Structure 1
């Protein structure tokens, strides 16, 4: 790799004091407003998230890249950022949770602040100021002084009136020493709907283009975009490793990837890495398609909302039978979280309704009223699968309310988590022939061997060396 000495990458990190402060709404509007100006905007998202990057990608036309400071090592993060930013006029990084919230009590591990430090990027804070005035200055001052972040501007979210905005603006600039760049007014025209695991997906959001247009209008009218762009362009020159052009294999076999409203949780880099290793990705819908794409040599079924679309999924018996037959023939299949649920015998929703699923595994997926094993973990392979060999590890995350009821104890992986200084371990994962499923979501850049192993099994199924 070559060193980029003093390279200029105009960049901004969008942060907030806490979740629910308007980061996603502001980030979307900012991307749309700068795209209107003819800029090529490269989006990024801090942390383990699938829904926000889909909104980013739809707005900018460039694939949003996840930057996770806990799952990925710093050199990998820097390479992903440098690679993603190539050819862009401006890179916008949407943060996660509150500015200093990440893995445990460490304010810089896995947090937005930690990522801003790694990227040497200026931070723009969006603050919702309901029921406060000068206290907003104390919050801004505390966030500015607490850690090594370059807080360069603040945007006020939902002031109750122009007078309210002016009071808060004056207090922040006087006592926190941070410039206020404008505000987002209260309006119901830009609200994004939520469900049990977060925002409703971009593919399900009605009138999304209209919402984005309104957002861009509000930002152009009420926020100093010229000053924001100058902040981004004045970001310190960044010495970074320029990734060498990958040795991309010619597509030699096909991997079928489930993608529709029910299954859409994929990291862009996961799919990109499979392609770089020689796979051609062909997409199919477990809701609509009656058979797998022709000549498929492997199947990847990611997470999503199978619990929401269970009636439509269960009605497509032809596809489920095709998948089950391919499993018996030894085709490599990987089901992750929602995809793992789909590979089991059936699913029971909150109302007690039972829906038949693929049935490669004899377990039953059932909804619960709380998150299961929520958060970051490390996965340890207990036996060989299509993804890992015994003893191999990868950092991962879990975010689901369902669980699998099973009668066997033939587990093939171990989850490990350290919380409050105590280590917790549990067993998970299911294997049948060349089929493997588990709840944890993994990011291939955290351990490329997992992608290499899967591709190797698909190549072998295709009869290739």
Structure 2
């Protein structure tokens, strides 16, 4: 058993303001000198990146769909070591999950972590009804510890007084914060949520401003006392990481720039633990790349950098050359878009790396959204045939069967049969060419331990066979 002061913060629905509250609480506690271990529930890269900035340490994603409970609690315990507080931001509505029973919901996560839960409520045009909402949430699921509420977007002191009195009269749940309406969102949004922290200047000023507002309007001390009152948590599984399969330190490059930056930190850590040396690369820079034994292209926003990606013909040629030479290359979503022959966006066709005889086009609405599950049906260096992969999709692009430039007859080979999710074409995902694999489906390394081990083994083979690339 281990004692970890901890809180989970949830909302009634998406858009309740829980991310702003989470960022404000986290930075306010950090400014008080506390070491806050930040966590984000669910498959989310953008909110997690902002939380990491607020906490001044990388955030960790927790999701009951992607990870089994021993791995989830083990990861939580490891990443909370030496922290004064473990703070988790939920996703969607408190009880919303993968089905009508709320499987994989924030409430399920809070119960798994035995954590007190704080509920953010958008109080716009609401008074006494708020008490019924709080009472219903407090009693809806057995085992959930609703420890307090934070009222958001309140209209004035009279509005706040009525809300507070109603909750105090009808429920036993304390009001721990009352935030006013903000004239504008301090972090603008776009088609995939908040603008990424990599694209927005002045992050520190934004976070400090949010922290001031939240710190003035919320009872930080009482919230911290609630976190410290959390019961002891059974120790999770310790051996949650892949085995070290190489001592040769094969070098795997991963792209981290404004185009591609969606990575679970645990995926990178898993590769290191399996024996890889990781080096950071850019598709946008003209800097020379070191010799590589593997390449990892994460997700991101290649459409926002399409012209710059197209203009950097040297890197596009380099990636194509590495793929044709048999280097193990793994790509997810935005990385897949880069490996196609073209990216179509806003009436313009941009040339990409050309590894696959495919193109992608940006759409106005999501083309893949939510959890995904797939069976591996074609041999590849990363996932054994017959394996069931759990992952997630979130993309506004869709795959086109032919490219504008070549239109050649080569048929792409797909390694994943989608049991759940959209994939690329006709219920398939995971296009393969030699030792290059790319999918719309994102995976979490601790939910697919074979991935890092196989990637590093493939890179080790490439290192042993490589000539001057």
Give the equivalent residue in structure 2 for 1:141: 135
Give the equivalent residue in structure 2 for 1:460: 461
Conserved? CA contact 2:412–2:431, under 8 Å: no
- What aligned pairs does 1:241-260 form with structure 2 within 5 A after superposition? 241=236, 243=238, 252-260=249-257
Conserved? CA contact 1:190–1:214, under 8 Å: no
After superposition, the Cα gap between the structure-2 partners of 1:286 and 1:394, relative to the gap in structure 1 and judged at 3 Å, is same
CA drift of 1:152 comes to: 0.4
Conserved? CA contact 2:75–2:240, under 8 Å: no
SS of 2:413 mapped into structure 1: coil
Give the equivalent residue in structure 2 for 1:422: none
CA drift of 1:242 comes to: 6.3
CA drift of 1:288 comes to: 1.6
Distance 2:414 2:80 in 1: 41
- What aligned pairs does 1:2-17 form with structure 2 within 5 A after superposition? 5=1, 7-17=2-12
Matched, 1:366 2:367: no
Offset from partner CA, 1:127-179 (integer Å, 9 cap, x none): 11111111111111111111131000111111100110111011112113210
After superposition, the Cα gap between the structure-2 partners of 1:80 and 1:175, relative to the gap in structure 1 and judged at 3 Å, is same
- What aligned pairs does 1:380-391 form with structure 2 within 5 A after superposition? 380-391=375-386
CA drift of 1:210 comes to: 1.0
Give the equivalent residue in structure 1 for 2:67: 72
Matched, 1:111 2:105: yes
Matched, 1:96 2:99: no
Distance 2:136 2:3 in 1: 30
CA drift of 1:386 comes to: 2.2
Q: Which moved more, 1:303-312 or 1:240-249?
A: 240-249
- Stretches of structure 1 that go unaligned for 5 or more consecutive residues are 420-424
Conserved? CA contact 2:343–2:359, under 8 Å: yes
CA drift of 1:410 comes to: 2.6
Offset from partner CA, 1:99-135 (integer Å, 9 cap, x none): 001112122x111100000000000111111111111
State TM-score, norm by structure 2.
0.93
Distance 1:233 1:432 in 2: 52
Please identify runs of 4+ aligned residues in structure 1 that moved more than 3 A: 244-251
Conserved? CA contact 2:391–2:444, under 8 Å: yes
CA drift of 1:241 comes to: 2.9
CA RMSD of aligned residues (A): 1.9
Q: Which moved more, 1:240-249 or 1:71-80?
A: 240-249
Offset from partner CA, 1:410-439 (integer Å, 9 cap, x none): 3221111299xxxxx811221111111111
Conserved? CA contact 1:190–1:215, under 8 Å: no
Offset from partner CA, 1:177-234 (integer Å, 9 cap, x none): 2100121222246521111111110111232111111111112212111100000000
Offset from partner CA, 1:37-64 (integer Å, 9 cap, x none): 1111000010000001111111212221
Matched, 1:340 2:336: yes
Matched, 1:82 2:77: yes
Conserved? CA contact 1:181–1:223, under 8 Å: yes
Aligned length: 452
Give the equivalent residue in structure 2 for 1:305: 301
Give the equivalent residue in structure 1 for 2:31: 36
Give the equivalent residue in structure 2 for 1:450: 451
Give the equivalent residue in structure 1 for 2:316: 320
Among 278, 283, 291, the residue aligned to 1:281: 278
Among 159, 170, 193, the residue aligned to 2:188: 193
State TM-score, norm by structure 1.
0.94
Matched, 1:410 2:413: yes
Offset from partner CA, 1:380-401 (integer Å, 9 cap, x none): 1111112112111210111111
Matched, 1:126 2:129: no
